[in-house]
Structure 1
Amino acid sequence: MDSKATYEHLPIPTYEEATSSRPASSQSRLGPEEISDDAERQGLLSSSAGNYRPPTVESARPSLDSVDGIEQDGEIDMRREMEQMDIEDPLSDTSSNRSLLRYRLSKSFSNFTNSFSSLSIPSFRDYLSYVKWPRINYEQLDANRVVILGRLFGVFLIMGVLYVLIASDVLSFGRNRMGMGQMYDPESIRIFVQNHMNDHDHMRKYLEHITDFPHVAGTEGNYVLGEWVAELFKAGELEDVQMDRYDVYLNYPRKDGRRVAIIEPENLKWEAQIEEDQEQDLVFHGHSKSGDVTGPLIYANYGSRDDFKRLENEGVSIKDAIVLVRYYGTQGDRALKVKAAELAGAAGCIIYSDPAQDGFVQGPTFPNGRFMPADAVQRGAVSLMSRVVGDVLTPGWASTPDNKQHLKPEESPGLNKIPSIPISWNDAEHLLEALQGHGKQFGDDWVGVPEVQYWTGNGTSPKVNLKNIQDEEVKQPIYNVLGKLTGWEEPEKKIIVGNHRDAWCTGAADPGSGTAVMLEIIRVFGELRRLGWRPLRTIEFASWDGEEYNLIGSTEHVENREAALRESGVAYINVDVAVTGTDFYASASPLYEHPLMHAMNRVSDPSTGKSIRELWDEQGRGIENLGAGSDFVAFQDIVGTSSIDMAFKGGKFPYHSCYDNFEWMSKFGDPDWSYHKAMGEIWALLILELADKPLLPFQITSYAKSISSYIDDLDAYAKVSADNKSLDLNGLRTATDILTQESQRFHNFDQTWRDFVFGSGGFESGNMGTARIEHNNRLTQFETDLLDLREDGGLVNRTQFKHVIFAPQVWSGYDDATFPGVRDAIDAGDWDGAQAQVEMIAGIIKAAAEKLNG
């Protein structure tokens, strides 16, 4: 845009208006902390007068209104289903009808009644036959009085038995009410969830609405989409639904503020199109540097440090050049491509999508195939996520609206110092052609499309002008949408479930597929909630904003609740891009091995009919290590909340372009929505594993085994870089051996608890309940104990990252890395520092192990 447009307020309906067609019992009112009144809306996207207002989204209003249509359909279908299921219970000894659904699920006091049914209590008449009673002339008594006296005696007898059981602690009616039995049969809950997942094609309907219009972070489109999501949270019976605001640093492109052009020599003058043929949202890099620079064009392959080193060794100067690099390859993080170019002396950086990685070389392109068309552009942020995560101006503290502490953009270690811009293959091919005959031609690893010549360029290359003039807002509002189902046994313990909402365009796969699946899980859980079900532990759902700009929404949420999450966070379950293919992948803390395998074993692969677990075993696949790049980072690396990230993946897709749309998903991503359903089942079952099992299924023995393999990998990494140096890892191995022993002792309790409960007919004593909760607390505290919480603790120069085993390396970006502090020191040639890191980590692992049983 050329100028700052005045924000035009949409006549967003009140919640009562939006839900007027629903029964009053299903409506919930906005709380005092929620964004609801007109006065708040008038300032929802600007923090002060004169601030930048992103463009309005004219199709946003219909999208918000559409919640009514979806919810009405769902409730009509639900009522119809309940009427169909409201048949006579074949196991009932009466003629009254009872809902079959409630018969299957309603297990209130089931353990209590089942256990008492196994007791053999003599009848009243049997007692009369054994007891020598005084002779009474019964003919003088009214027959009714005899019946009354007999019944009173029976009541007193049963009360006496109950007193003995309670006094002996066989039954406990305190806070830990396992003796009362779970409210519902867990297996019936799981069956219900799987049978009802996407049973009325809700996921497709959700995704259609999500992709109606672009919703970049901080724009009106994403705010209105957030309100729509909040309405569905409420419709799903979530409690305390709110839109949580943070004011953060964001940039937006100006329509005439971007340019890539050859300006010399005269006969080669040319200007790039920049925009896609299907323009829905402007092309730019999030958190890019504003600037207008000119220099000779140099092609630098993938833009890795090794690539720039090779150019230097071959005599190709990067000084003040405009560097052209391609996505993917040996440097997968686009931000680190720009940083490497900056450090090499470049004036600017252009990143393009080469068909060898994600275009016609791979296969047919959209709309005829799944791959990136030649005019498509991969947007994305170029903030340095491996150095600063979240709002780049508030590293380590939350960007709440009342926060006054901000860095200046030029002070932030999370921002690059040279401008950058993404372009399409159509534009990049013209630049490569202009380089022919300049510089050198390298081998196959520098070549993309076989028919095109890839020259490096040099000082005689055509001169290119790169312009990136943009609007920059230091305090632009973003909104996380939050809602929860409060647990009935341990409400303070949280299973946090998240997916981000913002996208670079309409975002069908990224992140719309994940949002659609999460909304369906909430709908199904809402049906259970209406039947009276609650989990043991609280489940909190989150629709994050600002993920595409450096994971802002989730990170600010974590930084605003650090102490509470370290105390109460049990698990974080993340799905970003839910479905782009048929192969299931998961990256996670090793604690997830057991619960994930259990969930995968219950879900069938739509293509083969085999369980997802069977396919994993056949393909030799396993849980991968956590890297960076999605909303689990702050949970795992800052507060030590054990995290997992899941997806069904396929080949490349039109990532971060406007061709990642509903049509692409319907034709190539998941045409019959079967893998969305499978993801919903795995995701929901994993939530139930962690939120609704009395004994948490995490296994520290799996963690100890994984750490041993991480040490072997670190040893190999050190030997490659050794150069007559060595690293003593014996202390780390000793600490891991201690963890192995202590974890085995720790998990002996699992069998002890099961033996007790099964041996007592399903009852749990008060003392055993207390021991179980203490066991669970130590289990969830283990990952938090792996944080470096010393004063000024955390990774060197990156103290946001506190986890000593998981965090991104300085130059790894999205890639997974273990013991990042040690690896960073090795990369820097600081072997003393690396050894000090080893000893520090060994001490933290040993201390965490000793806390398990102490």
Structure 2
Amino acid sequence: MKDWVATTMGLAVLVPTVALLLAGVTVSLDAITLSDVASQNCPANPDAHMTYEAPDAYGGLKPSGEDYFGTAGEQLLDEMKAENIERNLRYLTSKGHMAGTRQDLEQAEYLKKVWLDQGLDQVLLQPYNVQLSHPDLAKPNKVYLLDEAGEVKFTSSVMEEPLDGVQYDDSIPPAFLAFSPAGTVVTEELVYVNYGMYEDFLAVEAAGVRVGGRLVIAKFGRIFRGDKIQNAQRFNASGIILYTDPRDYHPDWQSGEPGYPHTLWLPGSGIQRGSILWRDGDPTTPYYPALDGVYRLPEEQTDTPTIPAHTLSYNDARKLLVNLGGQEVPPAWRGGLNITYRMGPQLNTPAWKVKLEVNNVKRVLPTYNVIGMIRGSEEPDRYVIYGNHRDSWTFGSCDPSSATAVQMEVVRAYGHLLAQGWKPRRSILFCSWGAGEYGFFGTWEWVEEYFKILKMRAVAHLNVDLAIIGTYNMLVSASPLLHKIIKEASKRTPAPDPSLGYETLWDHWNQRGRAASPDLMDYNLASTSEHAPFYQSIGVPASYMLWEINFDEYDWSDYPLYHTTYEDFDAVKNILDPEFRYHLSLGQMWALMGVGLADAKILPMDPEDETAMLRRMLAELKTEYGPNLKENGVSLGSLESVIERFALVAKTFKSHVDNLTNVSPLLARQLNDQLLLLEKCYTHTEGSSLRPHMKNMMFGTNNFNQYDSWLAPGVRDALWEATHCQEPCPQRWQVVRQQLSILQYVINSALLAMKDITRL
């Protein structure tokens, strides 16, 4: 049992803190004169600002003209190898590595050593002491079915059935949902609530079945599992059970098609683990980092679940659902089990009971970020950040180890460039985040510690959580300032499978059916991964991407093996990507994005992409809330006006930059700072009226599903409250007006950031 807790013995002396990297780094401007900032307006010459006068010291060329990547980009593409990614993944999936365990610390130390050996200028192992939730191995969580005499008729499994007959070792946790409080519920009443969405609970109560005081059972999928628990609390349920229904995780189950390892479908004993926190970051230290000696909120003051919750396989859930009485559920609510789905709350046999017993333990334990740096040669205090969390609930071959394996190969390829004498213009950080599965703990604490520095100096956070869950097409979400570099990188990256008729990744991505979204790229950053604290808290441009399934063929909420013990190396090697060519393609594009942002003299960012987003946001508000707004005397005229003024300024800025030549270092710095300030202007100290921690007033999450996004989240929070009020609520419409004013204010701030800084 002691192996579950990562120890800091032997780590008393750590390498210097990241503060040495991020603070106090300056750029000498002593040699710059006023004449250097003068610019010439020349005939239209797109991207003339990218010109560079001389080769690098190592003989390579920096980005210039229409080439955003230079010699370094070509060498990165050539250097990266699929077989190395495969080797990395085999190591990463050799053991489970849940946060707070010995195995997770071992992987962190391994990465640090490898990255130092590969030539990074500095690599730090940085701990934060965060509250983690683990199962009690002596008293694993279970669900029981009891007869009228209290005798146990059924007990849920605590672990999946092993594929080879060999029991799993202690690196794999038994069934649990992190941050479910310990507690026991014994009841004769169980209510089936479909996917546990807010509207599902409303429908149950509308059907005459009260939720309050009762145990509920819901399917995984459609929305974030933590939102299901929050909805159960909103309707005063006493506890909740979640399970993986075969309709979503093995639709061919009834026809006898086998599950994994023969297919990617989830076997009947598969158990999905996961965190149910709906507020990211260490819950005991909100708004400040979890360092030694800090004040921690008492348990009752933390924003954590208050009712017990547990997870079951569909084999075990069937034992409960087949004994559930009451009215039949609507056809759309039926799952894939060969039973009649009923709503409850009564059980078929009088006096029988369901018992839910959760024995999770919360402890403050260290989680470790591995931070590697390539120091920039000209602007070392500007940071292009690669991010991927390292921990997993089990082996994590897809989530997150597929991306960690790719990140390791990206670092190795960069190390090859460094060995030849190459240095980027700006600094590049490679971040392997700790405790990501719990709610992006390592990332949030790091952002909170370096909040002021990153808000001024971070260029972008390029995040990949998991590289692959299918190979049909890519899904890419990004804030608008990164759309340009993503498109250009994809045009230079070879297609993963030329036999499909595509030459470049751009061809594959652009010509094949879209993954999940009708748009090539969307703004759906949501809270799916470690990019969240960067854009939500400090307004740093962020991206998220992975290889996805064909959504015309499948309707998955999660990939079938998600967070189970069956998510192992063989699932990737034997089924998903045997030659690791899709891993390689994503990695090459990821590498190019970083070198483009780190090496270009003027950042390859187009403010007119922001204009497209702003107009879309306005159109969505008009479509969804236009009649409500008009009925309550609320106008969007001022918002529309400031958006059009932004559009004019963005167009002027882009035209000005495109026609510059012989740009001095100081002028380049000024223009780049204007670009970097743009999305940072969207943050507002007070945040949304409903969710003060949601600081970005332009990009945020759906209040009922952290996996989904809302443009203008503060306004949408207020509109939801106002339109769902059952009686006249003038005070709620006042909040709508206030949030619209704040939205208008942050857009105007971005507008001012883009204006010529010599003209007020």
Q: TM-score, normalised by structure 1?
A: 0.76
Q: How does 1:401-412 map to 2 (within 5 A)?
A: 401-403=292-294, 405-412=295-302
- Runs of 4+ deviating beyond 3 Å: 4-12, 29-34, 166-172, 176-183, 264-268, 360-364, 459-462, 719-727
1-structure distance, mates of 2:387, 2:434: 11
1:697-745 deviation line (CA, Å, top 9, x unaligned): 1111111111100111122222486695464211111111011001111
Cα 1:348/1:643, change in 2 over 3 Å: same
Residue equivalent to 1:781: 677
Q: Does 1:635 align with 2:528?
A: no
2-structure distance, mates of 1:336, 1:297: 19
Q: Does 1:323 align with 2:216?
A: yes
Code of the aligned partner of 2:737:
Q
Of 256, 266, 283, the residue aligned with 1:372 is 266
1:347-402 deviation line (CA, Å, top 9, x unaligned): 11100001111124387521110121111111110011xxx320011111111123
Residue equivalent to 1:149: none
Code of the aligned partner of 2:221:
Y
Cα 1:323/1:726, change in 2 over 3 Å: farther
Cα 1:657/1:721, change in 2 over 3 Å: farther
1:16-43 deviation line (CA, Å, top 9, x unaligned): xxxxxxxxxxxxx984559xxxxxxxxx
Q: How does 1:821-832 map to 2 (within 5 A)?
A: 821-829=714-722, 830-832=732-734
Most deviating of 496-505 and 235-244:
235-244
Q: How does 1:371-450 map to 2 (within 5 A)?
A: 371-384=265-278, 388-403=279-294, 405-413=295-303, 415-435=304-324, 438-449=325-336
- What secondary structure sits across from 2:141 in the alignment? strand
Residue equivalent to 1:261: 144
Cα 1:282/1:460, change in 2 over 3 Å: closer
Residue equivalent to 1:359: 250
Q: Does 1:704 align with 2:611?
A: yes
Q: How does 1:765-804 map to 2 (within 5 A)?
A: 768-789=664-685, 793-804=686-697
- What secondary structure sits across from 2:711 in the alignment? coil
Residue equivalent to 1:224: 106
Identity across matched positions, percent: 27
Cα 1:322/1:697, change in 2 over 3 Å: same
The higher relative CO (CA closer than 8 Å, separation ≥ 6) is in: 2
Code of the aligned partner of 2:584:
K
Of 725, 736, 744, the residue aligned with 1:834 is 736
2-structure distance, mates of 1:265, 1:168: 91
Code of the aligned partner of 2:359:
I
2-structure distance, mates of 1:716, 1:313: 28
2-structure distance, mates of 1:844, 1:481: 34
1-structure distance, mates of 2:261, 2:592: 35
Q: Does 1:548 align with 2:425?
A: no
Q: CA deviation at 1:171?
A: 14
Residue equivalent to 1:737: 644
Code of the aligned partner of 2:476:
A
Of 275, 280, 290, the residue aligned with 2:159 is 275
Q: Does 1:467 align with 2:357?
A: yes
2-structure distance, mates of 1:769, 1:242: 30
Task: Say if 1:360 and 1:372, in contact at 8 Å, map to a contact too.
Answer: no
Residue equivalent to 1:649: 548
Code of the aligned partner of 2:753:
K
2-structure distance, mates of 1:778, 1:421: 49
1:273-304 deviation line (CA, Å, top 9, x unaligned): 13211343311111111111112222111111
Q: Does 1:675 align with 2:587?
A: no
Residue equivalent to 1:346: 237
- What secondary structure sits across from 1:578 in the alignment? coil
Task: Say if 2:403 and 2:465, in contact at 8 Å, map to a contact too.
Answer: yes
Q: CA deviation at 1:752?
A: 2.2
Of 174, 185, 191, the residue aligned with 2:61 is 185
Q: How does 1:509-658 map to 2 (within 5 A)?
A: 509-582=398-471, 583-607=473-497, 608=500, 609-618=502-511, 619=513, 621-625=519-523, 626-650=525-549, 652-658=559-565
Q: CA deviation at 1:815?
A: 0.4
- What secondary structure sits across from 1:816 in the alignment? strand
Residue equivalent to 2:711: 818
- What secondary structure sits across from 1:249 in the alignment? strand
2-structure distance, mates of 1:778, 1:537: 16
Of 57, 79, 89, the residue aligned with 1:207 is 89
Unaligned runs of 5+ in 2: 19-32, 40-49, 63-69, 163-167, 723-731
Q: How does 1:223-262 map to 2 (within 5 A)?
A: 223-255=105-137, 256-262=139-145
Residue equivalent to 2:185: 293
1:75-122 deviation line (CA, Å, top 9, x unaligned): xxxxxxxxxxxxxxxxxxxxxxxxxxxxxxxxxxxxxxxxxxxxxxxx
Q: CA deviation at 1:427?
A: 0.4
Cα 1:198/1:463, change in 2 over 3 Å: same
Task: Say if 2:179 and 2:360, in contact at 8 Å, map to a contact too.
Answer: no
Residue equivalent to 1:141: none
2-structure distance, mates of 1:605, 1:451: 43
Task: Say if 1:260 and 1:272, in contact at 8 Å, map to a contact too.
Answer: yes
Q: RMSD between aligned alpha carbons?
A: 2.6
1-structure distance, mates of 2:158, 2:224: 21
Q: CA deviation at 1:11?
A: 11
Cα 1:687/1:423, change in 2 over 3 Å: same
Q: CA deviation at 1:641?
A: 0.8
Cα 1:195/1:180, change in 2 over 3 Å: closer
1-structure distance, mates of 2:362, 2:446: 22
Cα 1:243/1:6, change in 2 over 3 Å: closer
Q: CA deviation at 1:336?
A: 1.2
1-structure distance, mates of 2:134, 2:630: 46
Code of the aligned partner of 1:737:
E
Relative to total residues, which structure has the larger helix share, 1 or 2? 1
Cα 1:304/1:393, change in 2 over 3 Å: same
Unaligned runs of 5+ in 1: 15-28, 35-165, 758-763
- What secondary structure sits across from 1:317 in the alignment? coil
- What secondary structure sits across from 1:747 in the alignment? helix
1-structure distance, mates of 2:236, 2:318: 24
Residue equivalent to 1:689: 596
Task: Say if 2:689 and 2:718, in contact at 8 Å, map to a contact too.
Answer: no
Q: TM-score, normalised by structure 2?
A: 0.85
Aligned length: 678
Q: CA deviation at 1:268?
A: 8.0
- What secondary structure sits across from 1:484 in the alignment? strand
1-structure distance, mates of 2:394, 2:159: 12
Q: Does 1:851 align with 2:734?
A: no
Cα 1:372/1:638, change in 2 over 3 Å: same
Q: CA deviation at 1:460?
A: 5.0
Of 179, 187, 200, the residue aligned with 1:307 is 200
Q: CA deviation at 1:796?
A: 1.9
Task: Say if 1:513 and 1:676, in contact at 8 Å, map to a contact too.
Answer: yes
Q: CA deviation at 1:220?
A: 1.0
Task: Say if 2:55 and 2:61, in contact at 8 Å, map to a contact too.
Answer: no
1:188-233 deviation line (CA, Å, top 9, x unaligned): 222211111116x111111111011111111111011100111111
Q: CA deviation at 1:687?
A: 0.5
Q: Larger C-alpha radius of gyration, 1 or 2?
A: 1
1-structure distance, mates of 2:656, 2:119: 36
Cα 1:355/1:178, change in 2 over 3 Å: same
Q: CA deviation at 1:589?
A: 0.2
Most deviating of 485-494 and 721-730:
721-730
Q: CA deviation at 1:444?
A: 1.7
Code of the aligned partner of 2:61:
D
Residue equivalent to 1:104: none
